[in-house]
Amino acid sequence: MKPRSGFGTTLLVVPFVASLQGCGDVPNRIESIGLAPGQTPALDTPLTVEVRGSGTCTNMTVDWGDGNREDFQAVTFGGSPECQFDTDSAGRQRFQCNVRHTFTGWGGGKTVTAIAKARCDGRVNTRFVIEPSVYILAFARPGSSACNVITNRPSLVNRTLVKITTVPPDTRCPGIRYPDGHCYDAEGVAVLSVAGDPFPFPGMRMNSLVLRVGTQVVQGGTNMNFVTNQEGGLETCLNELDPRAGNGGYEIHIRADQLGPPP
């Protein structure tokens, strides 16, 4: 199971469309979502998220943003193990559902979304950051292949905002030096390789960092970002003639913010 609270603690409430009515003429609607008080977001730690609303809701889905979704059934009068209801003196009802989830693998931004499914309306989400939010990878040459998958992190899910910055350990050569004496950082050469060249990634800058997720290939650099369009392991690649020819490298700082389901 998994949680809530903002890449900067943002709360979004999507207006309901055709609300049903409950006791006391209160609409059946999911209204808010957030981490339960007193928690520090962390990996491998069960986190509790509070989903609140008015009236009742017989079915809702919680999308944890990391590829996992859960349906909660029979969220009705009398409650359930996750949900409880209160009724005021005027007969107006409100509900609160406490759901739990454990995030693993990547730190960074998380988005949790609650979506009404039956006898209620509304869609709300919340965002929060799990530290350490940045994963640091040592990228070096010589190597054995053009690409290497990050093996100690799980696959990135679809709709992950990946932010890349690079840090050179040696300012005299802020990257990789080749036998001809030239040194290139992650930006490479301001010349694109073309089909038919011996470079592995046509259309990408020569000797530059390239990121790959499944079939998605993205031009890398010293400071850039992209959003994944599919699930897959993150591969760091170099658009060079021979991975065994160069010497040196740089740190790649990677932040993966999960954006949640599309609107």
pTM as predicted: 0.86
> 11-130, superfamily in CATH?
Immunoglobulins (2.60.40.10)
Look at residue 203 and tell me whether its pLDDT is greater than 90: yes
CATH topology for the 135-258 domain = Jelly Rolls (2.60.120)
Average pLDDT of the segment spanning 211-226: 98
Q: Which residues contact 14 (CB under 8 A, 6 or more apart)?
A: 122, 123, 124
Q: pLDDT (tens digit, 9 = 90+) per residue, 132-143?
A: 999 999 999 999
Q: Which residues contact 34 (CB under 8 A, 6 or more apart)?
A: 4, 5, 11, 49, 50, 126
Domain parsing of the chain, residue ranges: 11-130, 135-258
- Specify the pairing of strand 46-54 against strand 93-102: antiparallel
Q: What is the DSSP letter of 66?
A: S
Please indicate whether the domains covering 11-130 and 135-258 agree at the CATH topology level. no
Look at residue 14 and tell me whether its pLDDT is greater than 70: no
d(CA 111, CA 101): 12
Q: pLDDT (tens digit, 9 = 90+) per residue, 228-255?
A: 999 999 999 999 999 999 999 999 999 9
CA-to-CA dists, residue 221 to 129, 164, 211, 255, 260, angstroms: 24, 8, 9, 14, 26
pLDDT at 167: 95
Give DSSP secondary structure letters for 134-186.
-EEEEEEES-SSSEEE-TTSPPBPSSEEEEEEEE-S-TTSSSEE-TTS-EE-T
Q: Which residues contact 181 (CB under 8 A, 6 or more apart)?
A: none
Does residue 211 contact residue 166 with C-beta atoms inside 8 Å?
Answer: no
